Amino acid sequence: MEMSQAPPGLTAYVSSEGRMRYDRPVQVTSICNLDIFYSPFDQQNCTFTFSSFLYAVDSTVLGTDEEVWEITDTSRRIIQTQGEWELLGINKATPKMSVAIRRRSRLHVINLLVPSSFLVAIDALSFYLLAESETRAPFKMTLLLGYSVFLLVMNYLLPSSGTALIDVYFALCLSLMVLSLLETISITYLLYLATTWPPLMPR
All structural domains of the chain, each given as residue ranges with its CATH number in brackets, are 32-103 (no CATH), 106-196 (1.20.58.390)
- Reported as a single tens digit per residue, the pLDDT across 148-160 is 999 998 888 887 7
More confident residue, 4 or 182: 182
Neighbour-count burial for 123-157, b at 16+ CB within 10 Å, e otherwise: beebeeeeeeeeebbebbeebbeebeebbeeeeee
What is the per-residue pLDDT for 203? 62
Q: Helix axis angle, 114-125 relative to 165-196, nearest 10°? A: 20
Q: What is the mean pLDDT of residues 13-29?
A: 76
